[in-house]
């Protein structure tokens, strides 16, 4: 079984709809991340969380919100989807505890979101 899972894997929705993307992990990691990937732009960080009570904005958080329901679950919401949010979304986790000097991140398979 995959260590980092994302649901759904593909989603097509319409402008203005509310969408939630879910991420679950069995690695026991404290840190979780949401990225979006657009052609030619690499990965851009949307939000990240170091534990259930610690949520931080990334480079492109506008139009998105997140919820860390448990150590293993981190969901990303688009309150009112717009076409330029069409992208490939990735969830990632890392072990990183206090004083960590490394940040190897483990990625989920991605969710392809299309907003019409």
Return residues touching another protein (CB under 8 A): 4, 33, 35, 40-45, 48, 50, 58, 88, 90, 92, 96, 100-110, 112
Q: Measured from the CB atom, is 4 or 81 closer to another protein?
A: 4
Torsion angles phi and psi, residue 89, rounded to 5: -110, 135
Q: Measured from the CB atom, is 36 or 85 closer to another protein?
A: 36
CB of 45 to another protein, least distance (A): 6
Q: Measured from the CB atom, is 8 or 16 closer to another protein?
A: 8
- Cβ count within 10 A of residue 105: 18
Q: Are 23 and 113 in contact (CB under 8 A)?
A: no
CB of 80 to another protein, least distance (A): 26
- Cβ count within 10 A of residue 51: 12
- Cβ count within 10 A of residue 94: 19
Q: Measured from the CB atom, is 9 or 18 closer to another protein?
A: 9
Q: Are 46 and 64 in contact (CB under 8 A)?
A: yes
CB of 103 to another protein, least distance (A): 4
């Amino acid at each position: 079984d995959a260590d980092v899972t994302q649901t759904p894997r593909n989603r097509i929705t319409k402008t203005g709809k509310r969408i939630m993307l879910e991420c679950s992990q069995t690695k026991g990691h404290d840190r979780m991340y949401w990225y979006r990937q657009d052609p030619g732009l690499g990965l851009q960080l949307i939000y990240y969380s170091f534990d259930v009570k610690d949520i931080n904005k990334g480079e492109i958080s506008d139009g998105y919100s997140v919820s860390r329901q448990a150590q293993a679950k981190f969901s990303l919401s688009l309150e009112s989807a717009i076409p330029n949010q069409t992208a490939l979304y990735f969830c990632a986790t890392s072990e990183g505890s206090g004083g960590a000097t490394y940040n190897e991140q483990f990625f989920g398979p991605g969710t392809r979101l299309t907003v019409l």
